[in-house]
Structure 1
Amino acid sequence: MGFVFFILTGFFIYHVLQFYSSKTKESAAAENYIYVLLILSLFVLLTTEICSAGNWISAITIQIIWIVLAITSGIFWWKISNRKLFFALQWKSLLQFPFIIIFGVTSITFLICMFAFPNNWDSMTYHLGRVMHWIQNGNVNPYATHIVRQVSQPPLSEYFQMHFMLLSGSDKFANLVQWMFMTGAVVAAGRIGLHLTGNKTVARLSMLLAVLIPMGILQSSSTQNDMAVSFFIVAALLFAIKAANKNFKLQEILLFSISVSLACLTKGTAYIFLLPIIVMYGIQAIIKLRLQVWRALLIGIIIFIALNGTFFLRNYSAFQHPLAPDTTLQNTFIGIQPIATNTVKNLAMHFLSPWPAINNVVTSIVIKYHQFIHTDINDPRFSWEFSPPFSASQLYPHEDYATAPFYILFFLIACAYLLFNMRKHSWKISIYALVIISMWLTFSLLLKWQVWHCRLHLPMLLASTPLIAFYLNTCRKSVRIVSIFVFILFALPSIFYNYSRPILGKDSIFTNSKYDQYFFNQPTNQKPFFDISAIMQRNNLKNIGWIISGDSWEYPMWVLLNDETHLRMEHILVKNATQKFEDASFIPDGIINKMIEPDSLGRIYYHNTIYQVVYENDPWMFMQKVGD
């Protein structure tokens, strides 16, 4: 029920913005939706930080906050707008083909969000695991954990998930965080297309292409953060373009700075993707503002520090670094070689197919290319050591692996078209294409290749849709229709046969049980988790210690024990930088152990207390305090 107040807050804010848009004769319903998402993000961030400072994070506190925000925004709307609803929808345009497809895709993915339970691997380890620790602790401060990412990674998307979970009393709406930002990213892509070309057809095509990206479709119903960061990056692109068009008015400077700051607070890869955007923004600002450019710079720095400062301080207290970067993911050195190898591998990943013969050809071409440039295709300086070797293996619609071959192909064609027809079109489009190319090159320059990179490419795929739409609009109508049909056809498996959350087939989310869905991506964990939780409940064990690896599942245990009162779960015998936060007074009743080998009697010792193995299902063990 509490989740309704979040929706009402957004509803009222949107209509207040619509009211002022109509007053200023700038009725831009689409951009107002983007503004609403930015405002809600600021609300979530601000209220989380305030509650964390007083150890007040709880269901009651968060529900009161959103009730107050809903009532306040509702009263404001009631006072200023004479209770008029400003939908600003042109129903005839909504019945056009692009909007019918957009509505269909967003409706189906919304349905998946409502019926599916979280089951993404990273969510089971750190995205949702960190949320449960924050709720337990009443704050978002660092804590001892074997899963370092729970503390070190930017937290904004998980702040949203925490609010949604506390408002609803479960994780039922946790998937909606990414869906919400997917809709925002689609709208932002359309606005970029409009501001670049002034052509409504390009804007609609941009939105259509954005909603059909297979990885975007799959991410929109997951509890990762790739779609969330993509929204903020695409929004930053939009406001950078608007700022250049409007001579860097204060509103555009503020919106750009907020989008950049929130992107960095959502996912670390934002720094890579934003670098070319900020360079483009900075050059334009210098040209337009000249000596007054310092004002835009100062505003940006102040907003960035204000929104990211507390996260930086928490990370510094834990890791002596504001970002706690994982250096194993960074290329060993910066130069032409990492660009030459990783750019080709990153692009080639998207040309997988269901047919092994084609995949073998792709792999062979990439291998021969690396032989030509005298570079090992799996050189550990440019490839992550824990990633499988490069290979164009079989394609399937999974949120970690889905590809977008036609987006890459049409992006390259669009860039080639611009290169040979530069004088025919606005210079803004060429600069925009250069920014997207720079994003790909910067990504390859800085990050080691890994098999999961298709997921990280999502911001660049979304940003490329206005450019592809622009090119398609220059083609003959028949070519455009066939191309759109191909994009739609390629999106269908991701819509209906999402590997983790299918709506068709024997494992459909409509027929699979809640718990079967949680463990769908790692079914071998289901029995030990059920067995261990049963032992804990049977013996009324309330204080539980975890000794696990940095990529182990944790969140499902919180779900299985959701009805337990006074439950406390902490990580113990931590051997990383978060060890300093371990509570020495915590004596667990039982220990979930994957890492420490017991002695010959099946025992381990912790704080002068003996723990005996009472359950084992390799690699999981449960150990109970002797005497309990």
Structure 2
Amino acid sequence: MFFFILPISILLIAIIVQYEQSIYKKMGVIGFLRRSFLISLLAHSLIIFLFNEILSLFDGLTIINTRLFWSILVILEIVVLYEFYQTYPLRKGQAVRLIMQFWKNIRYADKWLIYTAILLYIIPLMILSVIVPPNNFDAHSYHLNRIIEWLGNHNINHYPTRHNQQLYHNVFAEYIVMHTFLLSESDVFAGTVQFLASIGSIVACSLVTKRLGGTSSVQILSSVMLVTLPIAILESTSVQVDYVASFFFITFLYFGYEALDYPEGDTIIFMALSLAFGSFSKYTIFMYSLPFCVYFGLRFLQLRGFIGSVKIFGIFAAMLFFVFMPFMFRNYDFFGDVLSPVKETGLEAENLTVKEFSFKNTISGMVKNVGLHIGLPSNSYNLFMESLVEKLHKMLGVNLNPDGADTFLVRFVLHEDMVPNTIHQTILFFSLVGLFFIKGKTRLNYFALCACAGFAIFSSLMIFQLWSSRTQMPFFLMGCIISAVVLDRFLGKWTVYLSFALILFSTVFVLANPSKPLVPLRYYSKKFLSYTPIAVCPQNKRQELTVVRKLTKFYSATLNKNKCFQLQNIIPRKDQDVVFEILDKVGYFDEEKYETVFTSDKTKLYFFNHPNDYEKCRDLIPRMKSVQENIGILFKAGNGYYHYWAMIQGDKYQFGQMKYIGYRPKYSELSNANQKFEYRYIFGDDPGLLKHYYKKNLIDTVYSSKGFYFAKLKWKVADIISL
């Protein structure tokens, strides 16, 4: 398969970098191998960026061009590697001896940690990233939806849409994912981008630990902590973008510290490139990076003087301008602003930043973000912790739930956007306290200070959202490093027991990821804990009647606006078993009890994170799958359509088969709006729009389901509807 050209190219570049001898002796063979891997990932990120931007100018983002480009590149890499080998023969015997010597020096227990982590985490997660199709809701709404629009248009310019976040949200992670689509003609390898980012982050995390004075055992400990981080586990197989952004962030930190120790010119380039690509993947990277930019800037001023520091600043400014300029120009040209639509355009723009800045609001934001990671599978405990946070806000005189922010809740949720890092946060808290009792760790102290300052900046600027667990990944990556170095000072060789405990505990998140369950462990965990939901949302009349007849002692007697029975009273431990059994007998947990990635068909796997959408369109799926012609998307709601497009694709995907045919008039200004799109079928969510805009004699047949319709027209049209 052509997809494998990409990992081969990454490997070849990493080997070619081995011939750079200037820093080799200073780092050691293992450190140099890890550094080479990071450089290769950065180099390929730059190559992908340039390829996308340049070929987009000529509508050249096609399967043929992409496969031809990567094939030629790999051939050139092989030629270069051969020439290097002829000129500077790789001292294979010496390299192998050094690697073997390094491996012998690793503690026996640490070797078993590595074996166990690979067996229980790396291999299963790699498999999951491939065998399970992308099923994250955000990915369906805009991350992947923008990719199939780009591929249908053969460029990355803005296009007409009903979900304008597809246009102005950061795009770099999708630039990379798009190449997995182009090379494989499918979405099979879309999840490997975040998985590869997780491997890169583990490598970078270990190298930063080394720069902070960590021995090989401490580097292994920090890597194990990252491998077992719940949000990292679930993100590593998703098609979100947070792990990609976090990888570039931690790489920025590594090359920053390397630049302080070894002032090589290329190190500054790698550092600037990492920051640019990280923030181009997620703007929040700027927030976490700001304290480190100040720290590195002051240190560069110390080490290189004013002129040298100005040159470094110029490199960073040029790199950020180089990366952001094309995208921001497209935004400004259409939206009137480089970041998001201005009001005059009449287009919606979400506001994720706080409205009022104050010290009290910063404390509030930090407390609530910390509160995302204190949840346990115990309603009574979670409600108690909620009450403490509420009391603290009353003392501060700050509104716990201001307008625009999510309602604060303490909960334990096994979801790849919101899972809490409770144990890791607890370890980090005690590690930060322990820092006060460690002498002679100045660099680590500044690292921890910058990490906490970045978290404070994030909490000050971003409104509270329940899914912010994933946007806090950069902070927790730094937390793994801090915790490893501090714990080593206090626990020494006993840290290996903590590592094994984390590995055993966190396997739950590998096996029971509700988006990609290998085993129905989530159900059995709930059964073991006698889990009682904070709200019961019946799926049928039988379940509804059961709650009304048997559980009104604890739950409301009527359905709320979300069609759920809300928990009214804390359920005593002795009654929790009874409540669980009652709900289990009426099939309330059946979906969790029987569904795994092995028992569900591919179509249903696409909808694991939003099963209601599957139920709404299920009756239409057979008819839609039989269609090979273009399908117009006529949505009244501002939703993405990736999952509906993906569920009807065969072995080779038709990237331009679906497009929005109803959108705001302003989108007609875009050049991509002029690309002719003829369709004979319409998939929509409001039959009224179909009746209003299409004449009766044009409509052949309309098939309906619970929430959608699929219409067949008598002949092809290219009509566009202004909504």
Of 598, 601, 609, which aligns to 1:510? 598
**Larger Rg over CA atoms:** 2
- The answer for unaligned runs of 5 or more in structure 1 is none
Q: 1:282 to 1:550 in 2, by over 3 A?
A: farther
TM superposition shift of 1:610: 6.1
Aligned pair partner of 2:469 in 449, 454, 472? 454
Task: Specify the SS of the correspondent of 1:591.
Answer: strand
Deviations for 1:437-467, whole angstroms, at most 9, x for unmatched residues? 0111011000000110111111110121111
Q: Distance in 2 between matches of 1:299 and 1:566?
A: 38
1:472 corresponds, among 470, 476, 487, to 487
User: Paired residue for 1:330?
Assistant: 353
Match of 2:607 among 500, 511, 519: 519
Task: Choose which of 376, 393, 401 in structure 2 pairs with 1:370.
Answer: 393
Cα distance, 1:209 vs. partner? 1.0
In the alignment, which residue of structure 2 is the partner of 1:488?
Answer: 503
The structure 2 residue matched to 1:597, chosen from 688, 698, 703, is 688
Given that residues 10 and 40 in structure 2 are in contact (C-alpha distance below 8 angstroms), is that contact kept between their aligned partners in structure 1? yes
Q: Is 1:321 aligned with 2:337?
A: yes
Structure 1 CA distance for aligned equivalents of residues 191 and 389 of structure 2: 37
Q: How far did 1:94 drift?
A: 9.3
Contact 1:123–1:555 under 8 Å retained in 2: no
2:137 equivalent to 1:121: yes
Q: Which residue of 2 aligns with 1:16?
A: 16
Greater Cα shift, 442-451 or 468-477: 468-477
Say whether 1:402 aligns with 2:436: no
Aligned equivalents of 1:198, 1:220: Cα separation in 2: 25
SS of corresponding position for 2:60: coil
1:349-405 CA-partner distances (Å, limit 9, x unpaired) = 10111111211121111111111112221111xx52xx3x21113x23321111111
CA contact 1:545–1:588 (8 Å) conserved in 2:
no
In 2, the alpha carbon distance for the partners of 1:220 and 1:537 equals 30
Counterpart of 2:440 in structure 1 is 425
- 1:242-263 Cα offsets, whole Å, 9 max, x none, are 22233x4322211110100111
| Residue 242 of structure 2 is aligned to residue 153 of structure 1 | no
Query: CA separation of 1:275/1:610 partners in 2, compared to 1, >3 Å: closer, same or farther?
Result: farther
Report the secondary structure of 2:449's partner residue.
helix
- 139-148 vs 98-107, which deviates more? 98-107
CA offset at residue 24 of structure 1? 4.3
Q: Contact between 1:194 and 1:203, CA under 8 Å: does it hold in 2?
A: yes
2:618·2:705 contact (CA, 8 Å) conserved in 1?
no
Quote the Cα distance in structure 2 between the aligned partners of 1:208 and 1:419. 24
- Amino acid aligned to 1:434: L
Aligned counterpart in structure 1 of residue 232 of structure 2, from 216, 224, 228: 216
CA contact (8 A) 2:632 2:661 kept: no
> Taking structure 2 as the reference length, what is the TM-score of the superposition?
0.80
2:36 is aligned to: 32
Correspondence 1:499 to 2:514: yes
Deviation at 1:418, TM superposition (A): 1.8
Note the C-alpha offset of 1:555. 3.4
What is the Cα deviation at residue 151 of structure 1? 1.2
Determine what percentage of the aligned residue pairs are the same residue.
23
- Give the conservation status (yes or no) of the 8 Å contact 1:500–1:520: yes
Distance 1:249 1:44 in 2: 25
Aligned to 1:4: 4
Gaps of 5+ in 2: 342-348, 521-593, 717-723
Secondary structure at the aligned position of 1:278 is classed as helix
- 1:227 maps to a residue whose letter is Y
Trace 1:336-347 onto structure 2 (pairs within 5 A).
336-347=359-370
Distance in 1, matches of 2:61 and 2:675, equals 23
Query: Which deviates the most, 428-437 or 548-557?
Result: 548-557
Cα 1:296/1:202, change in 2 over 3 Å:
same
- Quick one: distance in 2 between partners of 1:552 and 1:81? 50
Partner of 1:390: 408
DSSP-derived class of the 2:659 partner = strand
The amino acid across from 1:336 in the alignment is F
Do 1:548 and 1:594's aligned partners in 2 also have CA atoms closer than 8 Å? yes
For the pair 1:463 / 2:478, whether they are aligned, the reply is yes
> What is the DSSP-based 3-state SS (H/G/I as helix, E as strand, rest coil) of the residue aligned with 2:704?
strand
For the residue of structure 2 that corresponds to 1:400, the secondary structure is: coil
1:430 positional shift = 0.7
Aligned equivalents of 1:76, 1:584: Cα separation in 2: 41
Pairing 1:17-416 to 2, within 5 Å after superposition: 17-21=17-21, 24-25=24-25, 26=27, 27=29, 28-82=32-86, 89-90=99-100, 91-92=103-104, 93=106, 96-104=111-119, 105-246=121-262, 248-292=263-307, 293-324=309-340, 328-380=351-403, 383-384=404-405, 387=406, 389-393=407-411, 395-416=412-433
Change (3 A) 1:168 1:350: same
SS at match of 1:560: coil
Q: Does residue 643 of structure 2 align to residue 555 of structure 1?
A: yes
State how far apart, in whole Å, the 2-side matches of 1:573 and 1:307 are.
Answer: 32
Inter-partner Cα distance in structure 2 for 1:537 and 1:203: 50
